[in-house]
Amino acid sequence: MKILLLGYGKMGQLIGAIAESRGHQIVGKINIDNTADLEKLDSSLVDVAIEFSQPEAAVTNIKWSLEKGIPIVSGTTGWLDQKAELDNLTESKNGTFFYASNYSIGVNIFFKVNQFLAKLMNETSGYQAAIEEIHHTAKKDAPSGTAITLAEGILGNIDSLNTWQLADQISVNEHSLPIISKRIDPAPGTHIISYTSTIDTIEIKHTAHSREGFALGAILVAEWIQDKKGVLSMDDFLSF
């Protein structure tokens, strides 16, 4: 498989190394310093683009890939207010666009556990829900895309909550879910869901020990989407 890397920071470099170890070829490495090289690239040589860049570059990268007819796997977060536009472009081009806020298999299992717990807590009164996420200081967006996905899983299952808000600490708010974002090196990613009452606290937690799970997951998805069309997600890939 011939892979174009859109974004060549730590994640892009790791994805490239793992991809090559699996017998794939990296045909391009685009970052902030050589974006002009995209227009010189022969798109017919690319089987799939894997996009881990920055929020301000993601939409342009994804649009470029879709316009060129290149299937794209994106893991950049912080731009989702424009996702509907890209979903529509995918459909109009009969293209392939796979987005996930997190490609770790373990995290996607955690998403399901989070939704199940939220359903249980919806039947229980007296608990304040909260999310805490911890990432390395190079991560620009806050809260993390993974935290937002977790928040959506909670909001979709607890009737009394209708929005989430970025907060400095857990505060009692009857209808809002607080998300506390911390940036501490060298943390690759920790997410904690808590439900606190005057009697006790219930917590579930996922801690990433390295970026390898994210990188391998993205490559496995890139291999999987070769014969797929449309707007796809980890639910499609994992068939939950």
Sequence spans of domains, the chain: 2-103+212-238, 105-207
**Arithmetic mean of pLDDT, 131-144:** 89
The predicted pLDDT at position 60 comes to 95
The pLDDT value given to residue 39: 87
Question: What's the whole-number average pLDDT of the chain?
Answer: 94
Query: How many Cβ atoms sit within 10 Å of the Cβ of residue 137?
Result: 11
Please provide residue 201's backbone torsions phi and psi, each rounded to the nearest 5 degrees: -130, 135
Residue with tokens 């708010």, as numbered in its chain: 173
Select the more confidently predicted residue: 84 or 39. Answer: 84
Q: Looking at residue 174, what is its pLDDT?
A: 74
CATH for 2-103+212-238 (3.40.50.720, 3.20.20.70, 1.10.150.650, 3.20.20.80)? 3.40.50.720
Q: Give how far the C-alpha of residue 78 lies from the chain's centroid of Cα atoms, to the nearest Å.
A: 9
Q: Which CATH number fits domain 105-207: 3.30.360.10, 3.40.50.2000, 3.10.20.600, 1.10.287.130?
A: 3.30.360.10
pLDDT, position 172: 61
pTM over 0.85: no
* pLDDT for residue 49: 98
Which residues, other chains included, contact 32 with Cβ-Cβ below 8 Å and sequence gap of 6+? 54, 57
Q: Are 87 and 66 in contact (CB under 8 A)?
A: no
Q: Furthest-apart CA pair in the chain: how many Å?
A: 63
First vs last C-alpha separation in the chain: 26
Question: Mean per-residue pLDDT for 136-151?
Answer: 89
pLDDT at 187: 82
Mean pLDDT calculated for residue range 19-34 = 96
Q: What is the mean pLDDT of residues 24-30?
A: 97
Is the torsion defined by CA of 117, 87, 70, 142 positive or negative?
negative
pLDDT at 210: 87
**Dihedral sign, Cα of residue 57, residue 31, residue 75, residue 155:** negative
Give the rounded percent of residues in the chain with a pLDDT score beyond 90.
83
Shared fold status for 2-103+212-238 and 105-207 = no
Q: Which of 14-18, 56-60, 96-100, 139-143 shows the lowest mean pLDDT across its residues?
A: 139-143
Q: Is 119 helix (H, G, I), strand (E, B) or coil?
A: helix
237 vs 218: CA distance, rounded Å: 11
Phi, psi of 208 (to 5 degrees): -85, 135
Which pLDDT score, from 0 to 100, does residue 149 have?
Answer: 93
Tell me, what's the pLDDT at 44? 93
Catalytic residue positions, numbered: 135, 139
- Mean pLDDT on 178-197: 93
Tell me: pLDDT of 240 over 70. no
Q: What mean pLDDT do residues 70-90 have?
A: 95
DSSP character at residue 143: S
Q: Are 64 and 238 in contact (CB under 8 A)?
A: no
Mean pLDDT of the region 107-134: 96
Summarize pLDDT for 144-180 with one digit per residue, the tens. 989 999 999 999 999 999 999 998 866 666 789 999 9
Closest CA to 2 of 59, 44, 33, 58: 44
With CA atoms as reference, report the closest residue to 217 among 73, 57, 2: 73
Phi and psi angles of residue 139, each rounded to the nearest 5 degrees, phi first: -75, 120
